[in-house]
Amino acid sequence: MCNRRTADHQLLKKLMQRPRVRPNRWARRVRRIAAAETGAEVLEFAFVVPMFLTLLVGVVWIGRAYNIYENVTRAAREGARYAVLPSSVAQGNSYADAPSASCTASTVAFTDYVTPVLQSDNLDPSSVTGYCQKTVCLENTYPQQWGVQVSFNYPLTLTIPFTPLNATTINIPAQAQMRLENQPTGGTCP
């Protein structure tokens, strides 16, 4: 009986075993590669580097955009400062650009003061859009007084890879107001 029991046990053990299938060479290689961790660092590097470079290039471009904003604002201030200064008494206290309530595009202030400031930061003055120099009533002055307002936009094309901002053009606005040195007769705005 003992032999019979041993034979049954061996038969049962044989039936419970998985069939021995000899895997081919490719399956063994794939299984070995999948179990190994040798390529994990390369894969992580491949995922992290584009994100890191995008972040780095984005920081550089945002810094450049801020630099352009500061330079464009300085150019508007220089243009407004020059527009409000009268000439000497010997030359009749006249302004380089005649005061005008409507926008004036090509002015001496733009060519002599705004353009050099833009060129100092390697910005193209011909890219300026919506240049407007006009005489206005200044806000927040009591009594209200006349001044000059200079405003314009400068386009900047952002190049940030792997983002929707790639090759997006944004307009950087600039506006400056300054009080006229010689107030018109009457002194205050209507």
pLDDT at site 67: 93
Q: What is the pLDDT of residues 38-65, one digit of tens each?
A: 677 788 888 899 889 888 988 998 899 9
Regarding predicted confidence, which is higher, 155 or 1? 155
Q: What is the pLDDT of residues 154-190, one digit of tens each?
A: 999 888 777 777 778 889 999 999 888 777 655 556 5
pLDDT at site 184: 63
Per-residue pLDDT, averaged over 13-39, amounts to 68
- Residue 41 is given by DSSP the state H
Place of tokens 């040195």: 181
CB 151 within 8 A of CB 76: yes
pLDDT at site 36: 66
Q: What is the pLDDT of residues 98-131, one digit of tens each?
A: 667 677 777 778 888 889 999 998 999 999 998 8
CA nearest neighbour of 75 among 176, 180, 178: 176
CA nearest neighbour of 165 among 65, 46, 72: 65
Mean pLDDT of the chain: 79
For residue 8, pLDDT beyond 80: no
Rounded to whole angstroms, the Cα distance separating 141 from 75 reads 24
Q: How many CA atoms lie within 13 A of 98 on its CB side?
A: 2
